[in-house]
Amino acid sequence: MLMENAGSPPCAPQHGAPACCVAVLRRSGEALVWQYTRTHTKKGKRKTPPARAVTRGTPMPAAALPRGVQAVLVTSGQLRNLDPQLQVPPLLLANTLIAAFSRAALPRLAFPLLRHLLRRARPLRPDAFTFPPLIRAAPAHASAAQLHACALRLGLLRPCVFASGSLVHAYLRFGCVEEAYGVFDEMPGRDLPAWNAMLSGLCRNACGAEAVRLLGRMAGEGVAGDSVTVSSVLPMCALLGDWVLALVMHVYAVKHGLDRELFVCNAMIDVYGKLGMLEEARRVFDGMERRDLVTWNSIISGYEQGGQAAAAVKMFHGMRDSGVSPDVLTLVSLASAIAQCGDDRGGKSVHCYVTRRGWDVGDIIAGNAMVDMYAKLSKIEAAQRMFEIMPVRDAVSWNTLITGYMQNGLANEAIEAYGCMQKHEGLKPIQGTIVSVLPAYSQLGALQQGMRMHALSVKTGFNLDVYLADAMLFFEKMPKRSRSTGPWNAIMAGLGVHGHAAEALSVFSRMQQEGVNPDHVTFVSLLAACSHAGLVDQGRSFFDMMRITYGIIPIAKHYACMVDMLGRVGQLQEAFDFIHNMPIKPDSAVWGALLGACRIHGNVEMGKVVSQNLFELDPENVGYYVLMSNMYAKVGKWDGVDEVRSLVRHQNLGEKISECVYSGNQTEPHPQHEEIQAELQNLLAKMRSIGYVPDYSFVLQDVEEDEKQHILNNHSERLAIAFGIINTPPRTPLHIYKNLRVCGDCHNATKYISKITEREIIVRDSNRFHHFKHGHCSCGDFW
């Protein structure tokens, strides 16, 4: 049967027929027939029986081989055969089959051939061409080590640079850097491919410092690199954040005449973009004689990641004008740039382009990009719809949605999405998951859940990642060379939201001193810190620095921070003029910041104008109606309250309003209602005795004075504080979360309570953290 298969005319198997590999070795009266067959079960699953060898002691009839062919290999219907006129030596025949099986990713067929050569009655000694394909096909480190030992025993390594080079490749493929170095150092004559193999392997294993040292050693031995050398080392420059090395490699490429090669130029643009060296990237781009899709993607991505979104969009139009069609990666960068520009119309155009090509449901990367784009455009409902229609979702998809919720201030939704990810999809959290969820717990003040997430990061080993080092202790322990913009931004944002603006600005100075270039997120953190602390002059300085010094074009978030900063200190008219002079259309976050300032400072007339803009931009956001109604109530304009309520009824938002407004009069009182009220009365008496005077301007109902006192005393944060006091040991810190801004009277009362009870009370409101201790607050009464 086997002889008939070997000798019959080869033909491609019919659909559904078994695919087979048949190899025949023949040498002076001895024949080896090797058969490997793949069959299909009734259910369509492939069944792979082991390869088997049959050795005949009698000569194989010439008729068994078609026209004297010495070897026949049929793989999945593809016939490979040697020249029928050649008389092939058996070792060459064996090497040919080993190489063929290795290229076909069939190591289970290649390795037995080597064993057969070594165990024959008259063994054939392998040569320099036997081992390289076997080593390249090694499925694991153990297999590579066994081949290494065998080649050493046969004395085939020192005279054979091919086998040694293959071992270097294999060891580095399995992350065995020391073993690879051992083979490399013992090579008697290292050619350029050997050096490149070692360099590229070190780079793939993120051994940037080792790669740089090896490059210096290579130059010291007088070996001139080529395009592979330069293209292998350039990515390490970005990984190490070493802009000096990037420039050195550029000079190296020019010196050796490699700066005109497309592959090298693309690598240089990519690295310069990742390092934020956009002028250098543009010079390389402009000097290129030929550009391909990778070239355009690299320069667009560089501008987008560097915060120059408008330039990225302009480059995209230049790409289209040059006749180069974009791919998915192009659209990913473009979508992010469009979002940074706050261009709703452009976002819809990108989505339409993606939809026409079927990428929205056919490519998970494109789908994730659309979710991210809509979230950054504050179109969270559109982001959620895009997420829901994706037929396949991975951990990145969920991380993008969770991050989108956080970017839009929806911490509860972010945590709920994380629960769905674990419950319904069964996906394990990855680094990005923890990075996305931790801020949600932070915003809610959920310390215990945050600690559990931290424990999970330690258990899974993610705590060593630079993006998770967002607490000061972790930050200080991080190696300086590992601090990219992410950790710096995280620590500045954290310090700012906890009221430590001076420390945040000090961290920024250190960031500059260590040569780390800020990005657009850096300045969002800085401006927010200045806003929380009322540092208007410093905020203006940072806004100008962002545009002039670093060439970062402000986006809506930066403008919102500036409006919030001016509004908090009472410069409402300047904030209003600032909005009208913006080069981009103000979004709801910008107008919302001004409306909040109008409420704080009681400017009802400006608040009315601002609210009209908000009602047009986001007519279904009930928070704006509540804020405007409260503003009228604070100054006693009850006709204005009625006007807003009428508008709410006209918009059919009554149900949403009822969900939003908190009432102290619950239909079913808390089980500890009497104890809580008794504690509140006890605290009120003690507070009055040391100087507390209620501020009734924060009562937004038209009622008598004694009723106003009752309303103030039943504000949600006071109820929570009283509940905590009666249910925890003395002097235990209390953590309170409030989804609205703390009112001025409650803020004042909480300072008194912290002094009376000798407790630290940490309140997370909609804007920031307040740390009350010994009668003082970390915000300095400015929030």
Yes or no: say if 636 and 698 are a contact pair by the CB < 8 Å rule: no
* Per-residue confidence band for 123, with pLDDT thresholds at 50, 70 and 90: low
Q: How many helices (H) and strands (E) does the chain have?
A: 40, 10
Question: DSSP 3-state assignment of 73?
Answer: strand
What's the confidence (pLDDT) of residue 442? Answer: 66
CA distances to 271, 675, 723, 725 from 668, rounded to whole Å, are: 63, 15, 16, 22
Tokens of 602: 């009681």
Helix, coil or strand: residue 39: strand
Give, as one character, the DSSP assignment of residue 421.
I
- Pairwise CA distance, residues 360 & 278, whole Å: 30
Report pLDDT for 494.
Answer: 75
Query: How far is Cα 328 from Cα 561, in angstroms, rounded to an integer?
Result: 33
734-737/761-764 β-pairing: parallel
Residue 115 CB partners (closer than 8 Å, separation 6+): none
Q: Which of 194-203, 320-329, 483-492 has the highest mean pLDDT?
A: 320-329
pLDDT at 386: 93
Report the C-alpha gap between 737 and 665 in whole angstroms.
20
| Tens digit of each residue's pLDDT (9 = 90 or more) over 284-295 | 999 998 999 999
92-130 burial, b if ≥16 CB within 10 A, otherwise e? ebbbbbbbbbbebebbebbbbbbebbeeeeeebebeebb
Asked if the model's pLDDT at residue 2 lies above 80, the reply is no
pLDDT of res. 47: 44
Q: Provide the residue type at 584 as one letter.
A: I
Q: Which residue has the higher pLDDT, 700 or 281?
A: 281
Q: For position 460, what pLDDT does the model report?
A: 66
Q: How many residues are given for the chain? A: 783
Q: Among 336-340, 563-567, 617-621, which is the least confidently predicted range?
A: 617-621
Distance CA 611, CA 632 (A): 12
**Listed range (20-29, 264-273, 433-442, 755-764) with the worst mean pLDDT:** 20-29
Quote the DSSP letter at residue 417. Answer: H
- 313's CB contacts (< 8 A; 6+ apart) are 334, 337, 338, 341, 346
pLDDT at position 349 is 92
Phi, psi of 470 (to 5 degrees): -105, 20
Q: What is the pLDDT of residues 53-71, one digit of tens each?
A: 433 333 333 333 333 333 4
CA distance linking residue 476 with residue 471, whole number of Å: 9
State pLDDT tens for residues 24-33: 444 333 334 4
CA distance 164 to 151: 9
Q: What is the predicted pLDDT for the residue at 88? A: 54
Contact 480, 488 (CB under 8 A): no
Whether 579 has a pLDDT exceeding 80, the answer reads yes
Phi, psi of 466 (to 5 degrees): -60, -30
* Of 7, 56, 66, residue with least CA distance to 31: 56
> What's the CA dihedral at 531, 532, 538, 543 to 10 degrees?
-30
- Count CA atoms within 13 Å of residue 598 on its CB side: 26
| Cβ 110 vs Cβ 118: under 8 Å | no
Give the separation between CA 328 and CA 393, rounded to whole angstroms: 17
What gap in Å lies between CA 304 and CA 310, rounded to an integer? Answer: 8
pLDDT at 572 over 90: yes
- In this structure, which amino acid lies at residue 288? M
Span 607-652, pLDDT tens digits? 889 988 888 887 777 777 777 887 887 777 878 888 887 777 776 6
User: Do 351 and 370 form a contact (C-beta atoms < 8 A)?
Assistant: yes
When mean pLDDT is compared over 213-227, 306-320, 433-447, 488-502, the highest value belongs to 306-320
Backbone angles phi, psi at 433, to 5 degrees: -65, -50
pTM: 0.57
- pLDDT of res. 81: 46
What's the CA gap between 108 and 110, in Å, rounded? Answer: 6
User: At 314, which helix (H) or strand (E)?
Assistant: helix 309-321
Q: Would you say 42 and 54 are in contact if contact means Cβ atoms under 8 Å apart?
A: no
Helix axes 431-444, 411-420, angle to 10 degrees: 140
Given CA atoms 259, 262, 263, 267 in this order, what sign does their dihedral have?
positive
Q: Quick check: 51 pLDDT over 50?
A: no
* Residues with Cβ within 8 Å of residue 52, at least 6 apart in sequence: 34, 35
Residue position matching structure tokens 């420039």: 247
Strands (E), 667-720: none
Mean residue pLDDT of the chain comes to 77
Would you say residue 574 has pLDDT above 80?
yes
Closest alpha carbon to 135 in 104, 109, 99: 99
Q: Where do the domains of the chain lie, and which CATH numbers do they carry?
A: 488-661 (1.25.40.10), 672-777 (no CATH)
Cβ–Cβ contacts within 10 Å for residue 596, how many? 23
What are the distances in angstroms from CA 757 to CA 655, 722, 726, 761? Answer: 40, 11, 11, 10
- What is the three-class DSSP state of 27? strand
Check residue 36 and give its pLDDT.
Answer: 41
Cα(230)–Cα(270) distance, rounded to whole angstroms? 13
